[in-house]
Chain A
């Protein structure tokens, strides 16, 4: 799967590329600015299919901004300008003919704080489904059971599907949000620090879930937690000041980074 490795001068990390058939997302010289202030600069990166790719970097480095750009959530903010391309399975998501709601169905997103809707557990998972199509109840029930099972939540909530989602614990809420996203069968799941608001045990459950889900879809994880990135991801991209510093297989980025900057960040010598 890993296609090419260049041995490069020390100021530049080797570029990791994936051949188009293995590539779910490809980002090509993408720039983005908030009200004239650049947040992402000339970002070029491709995300492999059915793998977990982690974006790491200091606060404000643009990793969450990049994640939101893949879901086009910046559309709501008028002051955001962008250039360059992001392609999902070969299609430019910023092309004028792109159906944004369909894109967002294909690219699910889970946020830092769990955000279940103020309705029952069942209705939360059914929310995305109801937007897409009218299904017979039996079929919808099956999808909901499947989504909750995939999110490792079914056994905990099967007896109280019609209770409010807000009564669940934080970790359960986050898994419910993942189930809600899975129910519409996305190709890519974006996770924006999904465990940062959770206790250690819930965090472990989410991490295990992320590892299990890669057989179904492509995952992109933004995290502040280096150990988490090392534990769950296959590839790691290190971003700093809106630029991609280093991108490669996680083992290599964490054990033998090409650049001093990466090593400093990973070992905590960041100033």
Chain B
């Protein structure tokens, strides 16, 4: 009897365990999907020109703004809704919680506009008139003139003065020169909104940040991230490959080699901030400081290389990712059958010829795998960069038209750090939150694109070696 139960028990277990494995996969997929969906919705949704509402409260107040979200009030006495109202210069805050039960009228008038301004952030209200070129325009004429003026590049815009009123009737005079964008989302069709959404996304990708990173774009950060990762790959690949060749092809396989190998593998597990400290101490203060006293003593005490910069950040990350490249390349070298090596040697090839003509071409996919992993790790790394060269706001791009074009000593912006800075150090964190999501999405996308490029290259080389030549 007991034997029968055991068999049933075993069968049950045998039916269950694949489900356990499947559940683990499903959970991982679910988390990944949830992550990407959150980033997509919150990040890309931010750029959609949402409707502006004008609400009248029981108290008689009139408020204009964009409804963000609704939460239940304590003791379940109704809901509370958050509005983005802008106008921080007038109201002292750009957010307002409104008790839903207090709203007696809710409309979306077509003449409500939203202005993006340099100080004080967004304005939401109505455009009364516009004074420019010595004339005063009203209504639609003023709006058309404003749209035409803002379409011009910033340095060619006419000077003028906007006369605005808020929803509760307060007047405001705003110079045209401090305005960067004007929208009337309630008057726009779906097509116009979609086009505007596209151009907003493009602006986010192609422009520099404004208002202490809480608005504007992230182009310098994208550029800095990609440039740093490329420099890092250029440094780490030859070093890692040469080290792997030494360990696998040249060194005698004895206890010391094994020890070195274990050491290399363990380096991959050292916390990244430790590499940051090392980079700061050795690269920035040690090597950079010495370079300054030798070559840039004219500008001392202000440091040139003796402070964090692109070169030191790339070197630090190269050090961080070196074990990954070594391990992957070594595994690739170990997979190549000795018959290939002996075949080349038996034909009269020297060891160098054997390596460069037969072994290394076959190892290219493995090397690329190593570089892929290195890139994926480096692109997302923030902690060590804070010590060795990343900046909240870099005044100059690391590449420009000025000799020597690539400025290795300059500080640079990085998406990871930009995200951190936007999320925690802005003056209006609530307003910057969508940008945090958008930046996070972008960071994921960049890592994805870099990975896909390397995967494509790996398959290309594999195919070239294996089938077509």
**B102 CB, min distance to chain A CBs, angstroms:** 76
Complex contacts, B362 vs chain A, CB 8 Å = 118
Q: Report whether B349 and A131 are in contact in the complex, using a CB–CB cutoff of 8 Å.
A: yes
Q: Report whether B345 and A76 are in contact in the complex, using a CB–CB cutoff of 8 Å.
A: yes
Q: Report whether A101 and B349 are in contact in the complex, using a CB–CB cutoff of 8 Å.
A: yes
**Nearest B residue to A167, CB-CB:** B467
Complex contacts, A132 vs chain B, CB 8 Å = 348
Complex contacts, A177 vs chain B, CB 8 Å = 343
**Nearest B residue to A68, CB-CB:** B342
Q: Report whether A118 and B347 are in contact in the complex, using a CB–CB cutoff of 8 Å.
A: no
Query: Assuming A73-B342, A117-B340, is B347 touching A184 (CB within 8 A)?
Result: yes
Query: A102 vs B348: C-alpha distance in the bound complex, in angstroms?
Result: 6
Asked if B468 CB lies within 8 Å of chain A CBs, one says yes
For the side of the interface on A, what is the size category? 20 to 34
Chain B, interface SS category: helix
Q: Report whether B342 and A118 are in contact in the complex, using a CB–CB cutoff of 8 Å.
A: no
Query: Assuming A131-B347, A181-B347, is B469 touching A123 (CB within 8 A)?
Result: yes
Complex contacts, A115 vs chain B, CB 8 Å = 337, 339-340, 342-343
Task: Select which of B349, B353, B465 is within 8 A of A118 by beta carbon.
Answer: B465
Contact with A along B103-117 (1 / 0, CB 8 A): 000000000000000
Asked if B346 CB lies within 8 Å of chain A CBs, one says yes
Q: Report whether A108 and B346 are in contact in the complex, using a CB–CB cutoff of 8 Å.
A: yes
Asked if A35 CB lies within 8 Å of chain B CBs, one says no
Contact with A along B326-339 (1 / 0, CB 8 A): 00000000000101
A-B interface contact total, Cβ < 8 Å:
75
Q: Report whether A120 and B469 are in contact in the complex, using a CB–CB cutoff of 8 Å.
A: yes
Asked if B58 CB lies within 8 Å of chain A CBs, one says no
Task: Select which of A113, A118, A181 is within 8 A of B361 by beta carbon.
Answer: A118
Asked if B344 CB lies within 8 Å of chain A CBs, one says yes
Asked if A6 CB lies within 8 Å of chain B CBs, one says no
**Nearest B residue to A129, CB-CB:** B347
Contact with A along B246-267 (1 / 0, CB 8 A): 0000001000000000000000
Complex contacts, B357 vs chain A, CB 8 Å = 117, 127
Which residues between 148 and 182 of chain B lie within 8 Å of chain A, taking CB atoms? Answer: none
Query: Assuming A120-B469, A163-B468, is B346 touching A101 (CB within 8 A)?
Result: no
**A79 CB, min distance to chain B CBs, angstroms:** 10
Query: A177 vs B346: C-alpha distance in the bound complex, in angstroms?
Result: 11
Asked if B358 CB lies within 8 Å of chain A CBs, one says yes
Asked if A17 CB lies within 8 Å of chain B CBs, one says no
Contact with A along B361-378 (1 / 0, CB 8 A): 110000000000000000
Query: A117 vs B362: C-alpha distance in the bound complex, in angstroms?
Result: 9
**B75 CB, min distance to chain A CBs, angstroms:** 74
Complex contacts, B92 vs chain A, CB 8 Å = none
Asked if A128 CB lies within 8 Å of chain B CBs, one says yes
Query: A193 vs B413: C-alpha distance in the bound complex, in angstroms?
Result: 63
Complex contacts, B350 vs chain A, CB 8 Å = 101
Asked if B466 CB lies within 8 Å of chain A CBs, one says yes
Query: Assuming A73-B342, A111-B342, A119-B469, is B347 touching A104 (CB within 8 A)?
Result: yes
Q: Report whether A127 and B361 are in contact in the complex, using a CB–CB cutoff of 8 Å.
A: no
**Nearest B residue to A127, CB-CB:** B347
Asked if A109 CB lies within 8 Å of chain B CBs, one says yes
**A104 CB, min distance to chain B CBs, angstroms:** 4
Query: A109 vs B357: C-alpha distance in the bound complex, in angstroms?
Result: 19
Asked if A166 CB lies within 8 Å of chain B CBs, one says yes
Q: Report whether B347 and A73 are in contact in the complex, using a CB–CB cutoff of 8 Å.
A: no
Complex contacts, A109 vs chain B, CB 8 Å = 342, 346
Complex contacts, A71 vs chain B, CB 8 Å = 346
What are 19 A-to-B residue pairs whose CB atoms are below 8 Å? Answer: A73-B345, A76-B345, A101-B349, A101-B350, A104-B345, A111-B339, A115-B340, A117-B343, A118-B361, A120-B469, A123-B469, A127-B357, A128-B349, A131-B347, A132-B348, A164-B466, A167-B467, A184-B347, A184-B348
Contacts A101-B348, A111-B342 aside, 19 further interface pairs with beta carbons under 8 A come to: A73-B346, A76-B345, A101-B349, A113-B339, A115-B337, A115-B342, A117-B344, A119-B469, A127-B349, A128-B347, A128-B348, A131-B347, A131-B353, A162-B469, A163-B469, A164-B468, A166-B466, A181-B346, A184-B347
Binding site for B on A (CB under 8 A): 71, 73, 76, 78, 101-102, 104-105, 108-109, 111, 113, 115-120, 123, 127-128, 131-132, 162-164, 166-167, 177, 180-181, 184
Binding site for A on B (CB under 8 A): 252, 337, 339-340, 342-350, 353, 357-358, 361-362, 465-469
Ranked 3 nearest A-B pairs via Cβ: A105-B348, A109-B346, A115-B339
